[in-house]
Amino acid sequence: MTVSTERSVLPGFGLTVGYTTFFLSAVVLLPLSAMIIKASSISHGAFIKLLLDPEVVASYKISFGTSFLAAVINSIFGFAIAWTLTRYDFAGRKFLDALIDLPFALPTAVSGIALTAVFAPHGWLGLQLASIGIKVVYTWIGITVALTLIGMPFVVRAVQPALAEVQRDIEDAAETLGAGRFTIFRRIIFPTILPSLLTGFAMAFARGIGEYGSVVFISGNLPMQTEITPLLIVKRLEEYKYVDAAALGCIMLGMSFVLLLSINLLQAWSRRRLFVGRRS
């Protein structure tokens, strides 16, 4: 470890690292370790058995599948919203901008109840969708809808500053060189904001995997069909199977970590392409 000797506004390196380690340990590392220790009391064979339990496997599929889908949807529409907010000036823009953050602040249970009310077979949207044969509540579609709502602000807030930084001059330059709108978007704007879009995607995805409150109401928690992993963990806890719950948590932790790490690496790679040489 190299110690920076440059002066900075915050107190010395030792103190900063000390505080960082302490808080990280108390709030993140210790609880996680406790969970892993708890889970390790289970035997190898039992662990594998638990891992391959059909109900568990189904819950992983649902959790990761719907989270991924929601993150993809968010990447597309979140980008569109960010574009609208940065590029156009219209009445109510500030208002809309503030509205984006609402899902951050709302208790997730409230979002869940609201969504269920709207998408229930007799709700405003549910009624319309039912007439064309789409059932939202108690299906994976409902879970995706809930996770989309929860993850939206992450993408918008990640992409917005990057879009604001794309200079109009660059688009002007491309235009005088003969590029049409689509080419400018595909070859100039999109590659420039890709790292930020990936960040937003990763955050929305991570949030989706961990989400619990908004999903329980709309999913109906049917085993093998709409049971997400966090719910399964709660279920095990209610059955007093603490070790099983901890083991499930560990597996989830591991998979999430691997996924997020790979997205981060991808993002770092694309960012390096863009900003290499900055520090020389």
Partner 1 sequence: MSITLDQITKRYQNTPVVNDVSLDVGDGEFFVLLGASGSGKSTLLRAIAGLTGVDHGRISLHGRDVTHISPRKREVGLVFQNYALFKHMSVADNIEFALRVRRVKAAERRARRKELLRLVALEGMDDRLPTQLSGGQQQRVAVARALAHKPQVLLMDEPFGALDAKIREELRRTIREVQRELRISTILVTHDQEEAFALADRIGVMNLGRLLEVGRPEELYARPATRFVATFLGAANLLLGRQTADGIRVGTTPVTAPINSMWDQRTMQREHEVVAVLRPEEVALAPTRDELATLYLGTGVVESTMFTGAYERLRVRMTEAGTIASGDGEQANDKHHLATLDVTRSQHDQRLLPLTPGQSVAVGVRRIHVLPTPLSSYVVYGKTDAQVESLQTHPFLVELANRMKTRVTTQLEPQLGSRSRALPGQGPLAGVAVIHTSNHTAAELEWLLRHGASEVLLLPAGNVQPRRVLIHWTGETVRHATLAVAASMLRHVAAEATYLNIIPSQSETQKAEGMRELLDARSTAQTTHGLEMRTELRFGEVAGELSRQLQSSNEQMLILGITDMDDIQDRFAAIFKHPHCPVLLVFREQHRD
Residue numbers of the site for partner 1 (CB under 8 A)?
A: 167, 169-170, 172-180, 183, 187-188, 191-192, 273-278
Q: In whole angstroms, how close is the CB of 84 to partner 1 at the nearest point?
A: 22
Nearest residue (CB) to partner 1, 93 versus 272: 272
Which residue reads 């900055």 in tokens?
278
Residue placing its CB nearer to partner 1 in the complex, 180 or 223: 180
Q: How far is it, in rounded angstroms, from Cα 212 to Cα 209?
A: 8
d(CA 173, CA 190): 16
The residue among 7 and 278 lying less far from partner 1, judged by its C-beta, is 278
Nearer to partner 1, 53 or 175 (CB): 175
Output the smallest distance, CB 266 to partner 1, in A. 15
Least gap, CB of 180 to partner 1 (angstroms) = 7
CA distance 148 to 80: 14
Token representation of residue 131: 């007439």
Produce one character per residue of 163-199: b if its CB has 16 or more CB atoms within 10 Å, e if not.
beebeeeebeebeeeebeeeebeeebbeebbbbbbbb
Minimum CB separation from partner 1 for residue 275, in Å? Answer: 6
